[in-house]
């Protein structure tokens, strides 16, 4: 298939491009580089031996997006492009609603106009709100706690309504849990601008000496050691889930959790990192981060049954690969 990957130079998008090319798909990338670097395109060429066609455009720009659909016969779209920092979304709600919703509307409009059969969307476990894990796709969604989460819930609705009104469009909504790790080559990985918000990139920066210590947000949750529990998934496993979804779904709206089903606490992850990489990560326990929940992990059985997809890589793989990328990344 000819697959348009929006946000294809970002963290999850770049790993998905590798897996798509490995599975003989032709990839066209659209990215405005707001949170990625053009060098990733060279890295993708090195890893795969193929240089994907690249458009530096904003996917909220309808004319620019339409020109891609005019230039290529697109069979499917995987829409990663979006802003994703929860705290920033509270400070700049309009920027988040505009970027994340207009992009989804422009792309789905083009899919309908140009008869594109497949659309895969990056959603998030955040749409479940604070509910008891394991989380299942058929649970009622709870009110999200920030504009970022709301853009995911609304995008899911926009895409569901669009697919229901257009028989030819199959939509896959993928709810990611906590993607971490990096490609085994160490060439691509998570490289956020500024001080990281998420746990794993913060840990790698502390290990590298670029930040003095990790703040562990709370040790009074009802979890194994009191620290927050999440379902960390290796980004390469996550990327493979996209290939399965775009290849398998032929009609209607399908929603899948992409997680491992295993909960890991902050301290378990930090200890696994120190042990596997033989390096110290100084940390201190501080108060809870506002808006955080104690525990969040997937029931990933639907994706296994319907897509034949299951996460294979371990926490050890995740912490080793994340560290290899950080060491390579000057
Ligand atoms: P990322 O920031 O690394 O990648 C997003 C890419 O989209 C970047 O390359 C950025 O430059 C590009 N982009 C953003 N807005 C754009 C626009 N209007 N036009 C063109 N390009 C644009 O983020 P990621 O971690 O790879 O996340 C990819 C998607 O997955 C996002 O939609 C994110 O919300 C979602 N998601 C991520 C996580 C996570 O923990 N990383 C969890 C759940 C869902
Ligand atoms: N966390 C932490 N210190 C940090 C960043 C995160 O203790 O500097 C904790 C956070 O409270 C949560 C877990 O690590 O329990 C995962 O947080 P992250 O921001 O990576 O993901 P999310 O909150 O989206 O699940």
Catalytic residue check, 283: no
At residue 282, the 3 state secondary structure works out as coil
Tell me what pLDDT residue 221 has: 97
Tell me what pLDDT residue 192 has: 81
Q: Mean pLDDT across the stretch 291-305?
A: 95
Q: Which domain covers residue 33, as residue numbers? A: 2-180+232-259+299-311
Segment 245-275, tens digit of pLDDT: 999 999 999 999 999 999 999 999 999 999 9
How far is 97 from 34, CA to CA, in rounded Å?
16
Q: Which residues contact 127 (CB under 8 A, 6 or more apart)?
A: 141, 144, 149, 152, 153, 156, 175
Cβ–ligand 1 distance for 124 under 6 Å, the answer: yes
Q: Which residue is catalytic, options 148, 221, 232, 283?
A: 148
Q: Mean pLDDT across the stretch 65-93?
A: 96
Cβ–ligand 2 distance for 292 under 6 Å, the answer: yes
What dihedral angle (degrees, nearest 10) is formed by the CA atoms of 146, 102, 34, 311? Answer: 70
Among protein residues, the one whose CA lies closest to atom 15 of ligand 2: 228
Mean of per-residue pLDDT scores for the chain: 96
Cα(57) to centroid(ligand 1), Å: 14
Domain CATH number, residue 140: 3.40.50.720
- Using 50, 70 and 90 to split pLDDT, how confident is the model at 194? confident
Cα(111) to centroid(ligand 2), Å: 36
Whether 227 maps to a domain, the answer reads: no
Whether 161 maps to a domain, the answer reads: yes
pLDDT exceeds cutoff 90 at 213? yes
Domain count, the chain: 1
Cα(225) to centroid(ligand 1), Å: 31
Cβ–ligand 2 distance for 202 under 6 Å, the answer: yes
DSSP string, 157-209: HHHHHHHHH-TT-EEEEEEE-EEE---TTSSS----SSS--SHHHHHHHHHTT
- Using 50, 70 and 90 to split pLDDT, how confident is the model at 191? confident
């Amino acid at each position: 298939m000819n697959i348009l990957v929006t946000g294809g130079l970002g963290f999850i998008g770049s790993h998905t491009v590798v897996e798509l090319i490995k599975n003989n798909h032709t990839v066209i990338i659209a990215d405005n580089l707001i949170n990625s670097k053009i060098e990733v395109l060279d890295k993708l060429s090195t890893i795969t031996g193929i240089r994907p066609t690249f458009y530096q455009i904003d996917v909220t720009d309808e004319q620019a997006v339409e020109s891609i659909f005019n230039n290529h016969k697109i069979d499917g779209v995987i829409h990663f492009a979006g802003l994703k920092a929860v705290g920033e979304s509270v400070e700049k709600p309009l920027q988040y609603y505009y970027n994340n919703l207009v992009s989804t509307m422009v792309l789905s409009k083009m899919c309908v106009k140009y008869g594109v059969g497949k659309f895969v969307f990056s959603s998030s476990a955040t749409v479940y709100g604070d509910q008891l894990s394991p989380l299942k796709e058929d649970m009622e969604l709870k009110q999200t706690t920030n504009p970022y989460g709301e853009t995911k819930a609304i995008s899911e609705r926009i895409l569901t309504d669009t697919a229901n009104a257009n028989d030819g469009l199959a939509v896959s909504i993928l709810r990611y849990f906590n993607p971490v790790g990096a490609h085994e080559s160490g060439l691509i990985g998570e490289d956020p601008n500024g001080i990281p918000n998420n746990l794993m990139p913060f840990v790698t920066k502390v290990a590298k000496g670029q930040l003095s210590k990790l703040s562990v947000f709370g040790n009074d949750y009802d979890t194994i050691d009191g620290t927050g529990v999440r379902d960390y998934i290796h980004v390469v496993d996550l990327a493979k889930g996209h290939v399965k979804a775009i290849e398998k779904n032929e009609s209607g709206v399908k929603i899948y959790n992409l997680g491992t089903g295993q909960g890991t606490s902050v301290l378990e992850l930090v200890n696994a990192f120190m042990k596997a990489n033989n390096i110290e990560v100084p940390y201190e326990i501080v108060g809870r981060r506002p808006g955080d929940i104690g525990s969040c992990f997937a029931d990933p059985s639907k994706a296994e049954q319907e897509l034949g997809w299951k996460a294979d890589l371990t926490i050890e793989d995740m912490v080793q690969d994340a560290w290899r990328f950080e060491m390579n990344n000057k």
